[in-house]
Amino acid sequence: MTIIPLNEGIFTVTKDKIFTPITREEVKTAGPDLLKMSVCPFLIVLPNDVLLLDAGLGCMKDGKPQIITLIEDAGYTATDITKVLLSHLHKDHVDGLGYMDGDAFISNFPNAEIYLQQNELKYALEQLSSHSFNQEILEQIADLPNLVFMANDKGTIGDHITFEVTGGHTPFHQVFWIKEDSTTAFYGADNLPQISYLKFYIAYKSDFDGKTAKELRQKWEQQAQDQKWTVLFYHDFSKNSVVF
What residues does 54 pair with on adjacent strands? none
In angstroms, the Cα distances linking 218 to 11, 51, 228, 240 are 27, 27, 15, 19
Indicate the helix (H) or strand (E) that contains 48. none
Domain around 34: 2-243
Report the pLDDT value the prediction gives residue 29, as an integer from 0 to 100. Answer: 87
Write down the pLDDT at residue 238.
Answer: 87
Q: List, in sequence order, every residue forming a beta bridge with 98; answer none if it has no partner.
A: 107
Compare 42 and 205 and report the one with higher pLDDT.
42
Predicted confidence at residue 159, as pLDDT, reads 95
More confident residue, 220 or 29: 220
- Of 201, 200, 148, 155, which is closest to residue 174 (Cα–Cα)? 155
**30 pLDDT higher than 90:** no
**Does the pLDDT at position 31 exceed 90?**
no
91/78 Cα distance (integer angstroms):
20
Query: Average pLDDT of the chain?
Result: 96
Whether pLDDT at 47 is above 90: yes
Amino acid at 58: G
Q: Residues, the chain, total?
A: 244
Q: For 84, list phi and psi in degrees, rounded to 5.
A: -115, 125
Q: In the prediction, which pLDDT does 201 show?
A: 86
pLDDT of the residue at 200:
86
pLDDT in tens, 150-167: 999 999 999 999 999 999
Query: Does the pLDDT of residue 116 top 90, yes or no?
Result: yes
Evaluate whether 160 touches 179 at the Cβ level (below 8 Å). Answer: yes
Instruction: Report pLDDT for 32.
Output: 84
Tell me the per-residue pLDDT of 48-85, one tens digit each, with 9 for 90 and over.
999 999 999 999 999 999 999 999 999 999 999 999 99
Q: What is the pLDDT of residue 33?
A: 85
Please tell me whether residue 27 adopts helix, strand or coil conformation.
Answer: coil
Give the torsion sign (CA, 11, 239, 157, 215): negative
Distance CA 217, CA 219 (A): 5
Instruction: Report if pTM > 0.75.
Output: yes
Number of structural domains in the chain = 1
Confirm if 198 and 216 have CB atoms less than 8 A apart.
Answer: no
CATH of the domain at 112: 3.60.15.10
